[in-house]
Structure 1
Amino acid sequence: MLDIGCFHGLTAGERIDYAAEITRITEPGACLLMFAFGPGRRGPLPRGTDRAEVERTFTQWRLISDVADTGVLPPPVRRSNPRWFHLART
């Protein structure tokens, strides 16, 4: 599964539903690669997420890695602490 900027813009309730639905449609061993901004208020940008929330929300998944992505992104995006979360379904 690939999520580039969806999860981090959802409400708390929507995030729980999102994780439940991804779990429902995948089999054990499936991978999820998710790009998300770090938490914070940045005007119109999504509220973001962090490692602890990802682990708390994806209870049937194991977080394999949490990697910062600041390479070629423009400065406003780099300031949002963008991350790639790699999860594997247990």
Structure 2
Amino acid sequence: PGTVKPGQTLPLTCAVSGVSITDRGYGWDWDLQPPGKGLEWMGYVYPYNNTAKNQVSLQLRSLTAADTGPYYCARHTVTQSRAGTGIKRGS
């Protein structure tokens, strides 16, 4: 991943393994971990796109410096088990 400038748009894709993103009754959370802080929940999505590739996508718009950090996707379950890969944004 490269550096993204303020005001730009960034597409994020999370490649999931071990589970199917289309499992009935589940959606996917996106979290951000700002530098020096804990995880911050960003939102909850249903995987309407990229189901053939078992990927979960999110598009961020009008970025600011506060959006810097690694992003994580997680299947929405009681235990919040991490099943996807983290994607780090440039600062």
* Global fold match (TM > 0.5): no
Structure with greater helix share of residues:
1
Q: Report the TM-score when normalising by structure 1.
A: 0.33
Structure with greater strand share of residues:
2
Q: Report the TM-score when normalising by structure 2.
A: 0.33
